[in-house]
Structure 1
């Protein structure tokens, strides 16, 4: 992986992992070791937590497609070794928030995944990405659930 090509995101936007994936089985010990190392790394690199937890769901029976997604996280980490947060001193302290959700993205339980971030001026102060606790029956429903969570975080 030292000579691998870097990628811009830890998970591809078209990545739909499921238990019914076709492909060759991989060594589960090797896969678990990789996932354990990535889980340890999430303590300092919180932005990979969603992708790592997505891969961790398939530790009992991994196959090539799951291993490929886990290796993509390593490719992302290789390209972000110098990335960090910078909080400049400025007089612009406007609180703003952004949120987005995808409707029924998870193939296993059809729940939506949502994400949000909050900025104070140009500084990131809070972010979150998780699967919704309930199933939304429409795109608007998924958005309303996310909006409620985002407003609660700001308050």
Structure 2
């Protein structure tokens, strides 16, 4: 018989008598280091409240491949971090012609991630959640 799973497709899985916890802190820490955010100050939210992210035709263009790399890295974290989904998807809309404004928004997500690196999903064993088809 197989033992308890602890790592699967980049997801760190912890099981105990009370439930299952899924996180991606290892991947998050590697991503923070890869893009140079290991010494940044964390922020409380992944996006500025009432942020008006738009196409920004007047803004200074930045390297699209670097921007896409950061977005792709963050998209993979959505598997265990629903708190990041909205902000990441807002930034992902502007991959064709990103500007400094868009990069600032992505950096904000990384700063938020820096302060919440150990967050994840908790599935309690005795919950009243019922799956229906």
Partner of 1:64: 100
- Deviation digits for residues 7-57 of structure 1 (CA, Å, limit 9, x no counterpart): 000001031011135321110000000001111111111110110000000
Does 2:49 align with 1:13? yes
Unaligned runs of 5+ in 2: 1-36
Matched pairs, number: 93
Q: What TM-score, normalized to structure 2? A: 0.61
Q: What TM-score, normalized to structure 1? A: 0.53
CA spacing shift, 1:82–1:61, aligned 2, 3 Å: same
Partner of 1:83: 119
SS of corresponding position for 2:72: helix
C-alpha root-mean-square deviation of aligned residues, in Å? 2.2
Partner of 2:40: 4
SS of corresponding position for 1:34: helix
Q: Provide the C-alpha distance between the structure 2 equivalents of 1:85 and 1:8, rounded to a whole number of angstroms.
A: 19
* 1:65-144 equivalences in 2 (<5 Å): 65-84=101-120
Does 2:65 align with 1:25? no
Partner of 2:20: none
Assess if the C-alpha contact under 8 Å between 1:10 and 1:51 holds in 2. yes
Unaligned runs of 5+ in 1: 94-119, 126-155
Assess if the C-alpha contact under 8 Å between 2:80 and 2:120 holds in 1. no
Q: Provide the C-alpha distance between the structure 2 equivalents of 1:44 and 1:83, rounded to a whole number of angstroms.
A: 8
Identify the range of structure 1 (11-20 vs 79-88) with the bigger mean alpha-carbon deviation.
79-88
Deviating beyond 6 angstroms after TM superposition, the runs of 4 or more aligned structure 1 residues are: none
Partner of 2:77: 41
Partner of 2:86: 50
- Deviation digits for residues 59-89 of structure 1 (CA, Å, limit 9, x no counterpart): 0000000000001000000000233456789
